[in-house]
């Protein structure tokens, strides 16, 4: 899919095909580092995704970097209040991405450091090129991960590994990220986007309301007590039977046909 720069965004390239949206962060001079303007553009973009879109893919423009972190030149002069505000802008955006009703795939094509690793972790699924590098180098700059990295890394890879990665600030290669469960799969760089699109197409064939409920359940139930989590799932399972897609899915199965889901 061809990604296009439009007048609407200075730092984003976008594409849309078969109800799959792709957005690439594009700030080549800083290896796609996230400044306030990029955070605002990305927030605007995800807030205005077309209702028909079933899957969003986030990637980095160019061959070298997904996102090389938050923009250090912008952060250098911040004080306590400025740090809180910048951290909140990133954290709010990443939570917005995490709670979108559609699945979000991070196609990590290069450096995913600091805020870049945190952006990837806010996505539902991460796949990477074998050139990708992951890490949380913030303590080497005198700060901590501030776009929710301390929250999500421990949940994804476990507390011991998260502490090691954050305390050492070391970067790990894609194969190590795969081994510890930070990414789901690793591809040759030229195969990465096709792999992301193939996964997105597979997801887009399924019932969108069911997928949004499944995403909400997995996200919300993560830190609920088991009894509450089971009730939460049961409630959403029941709600599926209020949808036309459930009728269509089961009708199609029983008639040995392919279901056509409308998201109703």
In the bound state with ligand CO8, the residue whose beta carbon lies nearer, of 68 and 217, is: 68
Give the active site residue among 138, 164, 188, 260: 138
Interactions with ligand CO8, residue window 30-49 (CB under 6 A): 30-31, 33
3-state secondary structure the chain: CCCEECCCCCCEEEEEECCEEEEEECCHHHCCCECHHHHHHHHHHHHCCCCCCCEEEEEECCCCEEECCECHHHHCCCCHHHHHHHHHHHHHHHHHHHCCCCCEEEEECCEEECHHHHHHHHCCEEEEECCCEEECCHHHHCCCCCCCHHHHHHHHHCHHHHHHHHHHCCEEEHHHHHHCCCCCEEECHHHHHHHHHHHHHHHHCCCHHHHHHHHHHHHHHCCCCHHHHHHHHHHHHHHHCCCHHHHHHHHHHHCCCCCCCCCC
138 is a catalytic site residue: yes
Contact residue for ligand CO8 among 48, 73, 77, 255 (CB under 6 A): 73
118 is a catalytic site residue: yes
Interactions with ligand CO8, residue window 14-33 (CB under 6 A): 30-31, 33
Q: Does 134 bind ligand CO8 (CB under 6 A)?
A: no
Part of the chain binding ligand CO8 (CB under 6 A), chosen from 15-23, 67-75, 157-165, 207-215: 67-75
In the bound state with ligand CO8, the residue whose beta carbon lies nearer, of 53 and 156, is: 156
Give the active site residue among 63, 98, 118, 164: 118
Task: List contacts with ligand CO8 (CB under 6 A).
Answer: 30-31, 33, 68-73, 75, 83, 86-87, 90, 111, 113-115, 137-138, 141, 145-147
Active site residues: 118, 138
């Amino acid at each position: 899919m061809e990604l296009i720069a439009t007048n609407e965004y200075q730092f984003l390239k976008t594409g849309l095909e078969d109800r799959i949206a792709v957005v690439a962060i594009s700030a080549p001079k800083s290896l796609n580092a996230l400044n306030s303007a990029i955070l605002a553009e990305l927030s605007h973009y995800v807030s205005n995704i077309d209702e028909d879109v079933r899957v969003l893919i986030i990637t980095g423009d160019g061959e070298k970097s997904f996102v090389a972190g938050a923009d250090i030149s912008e952060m250098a002069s911040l004080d306590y209040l400025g740090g809180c505000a910048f951290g909140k802008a990133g954290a709010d955006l990443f939570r917005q991405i995490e709670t979108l009703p559609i699945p979000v795939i991070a196609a990590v094509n290069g450096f995913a450091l600091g805020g870049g690793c945190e952006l990837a972790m806010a996505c539902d699924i991460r796949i990477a090129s074998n050139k990708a590098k992951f890490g949380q180098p913030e303590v080497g700059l005198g700060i901590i991960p501030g776009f929710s990295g301390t929250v999500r890394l421990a949940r994804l890879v476990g507390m011991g590994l998260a502490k090691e990665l954050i305390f050492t600030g070391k970067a790990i290669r894609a194969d190590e990220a795969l081994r510890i469960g930070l990414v789901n799969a690793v591809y040759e760089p030229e195969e990465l986007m096709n792999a992301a699109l193939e996964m997105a197409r597979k997801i887009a064939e399924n019932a969108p309301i069911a997928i949004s409920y499944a995403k909400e359940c997995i996200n919300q139930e993560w830190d609920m007590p088991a009894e509450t989590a089971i009730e939460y799932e049961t409630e959403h399972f029941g709600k599926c039977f209020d949808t036309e897609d459930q009728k269509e899915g089961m009708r199609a199965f029983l008639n040995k046909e392919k279901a056509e889901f409308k998201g109703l």
